[in-house]
Amino acid sequence: MDIETAGRDDPARPGACTPTAGAHRGLFMVERRLPGKDEAGPAMLHAALTETTRRAAARGEPVRYLRSAIIPRQQRLVSLFEAGSADIVRAVNEAALVPFVSIEPVFDVADLGAPAAG
C-alpha cells in the first residue's frame, strides 16, 4: 500500500474512504495559527466546529469533525476531519467563521502497513 491509497480499504479506520450517500470520505487536516494565550479560544473553536459540522452532516454533507490538537510552542492548532472532499471541509470551516492557514489531505500511518522484508 502506498501513500496515495492508504486508508481506502478499511472502513473501520478513521481515515478510510467509506461510501456515504455515494460519496467517499478521506481524512483532512486543517492548520490554524493561535493568536496570543486566549484559553477560551480553542474551546470556542471546538464548539463552533462541532456545531457547524453537525448542521452540515444533517443536510447530508459527508463530513465529520474528529478532533483538534494544539502545538503550543509553534502557536498552531490542527483539526482533523473526515469528509468527502477538501471543499466540504473548507465550507464547514468558513461557515464556522474560524480562520485557517491550510487544508491538506492526510493519512493514518497505520494504513501504510508493515514495511516489506527484503
- DSSP H or E stretch at residue 46: helix 40-58
Tell which residue, 16, 10, 81, has the closest CA to residue 46. Answer: 81
pLDDT at 67 over 90: yes
Burial class (CB in 10 A: 0-12, 13-18, 19+), 9: exposed
pLDDT at 43 over 80: yes
Could you give phi then psi for residue 82, rounded to 5 degrees? -110, 125
When comparing pLDDT for 108 and 32, which is higher? 32
Percent of the chain with pLDDT over 90: 58
Residue 3 and residue 45: Cα distance in Å, rounded? Answer: 30
Burial class (CB in 10 A: 0-12, 13-18, 19+), 73: exposed
When comparing pLDDT for 91 and 37, which is higher? 91
pLDDT at 9 over 50: no
Query: What is the pLDDT averaged over residues 69-83?
Result: 94
pLDDT at 62 over 50: yes
pLDDT, position 103: 98
Residue 97 and residue 45: Cα distance in Å, rounded? Answer: 9
CATH superfamily of 26-107: ORF SCO4226, nickel-binding ferredoxin-like monomer (3.30.70.3090)
- DSSP H or E stretch at residue 79: strand 76-83
**Ranges 16-25, 61-70, 80-89, 107-116: which has the least confidence:** 16-25
Q: Are 74 and 32 in contact, with CB atoms under 8 Å apart?
A: no
What residue ranges do the domains of the chain occupy?
26-107
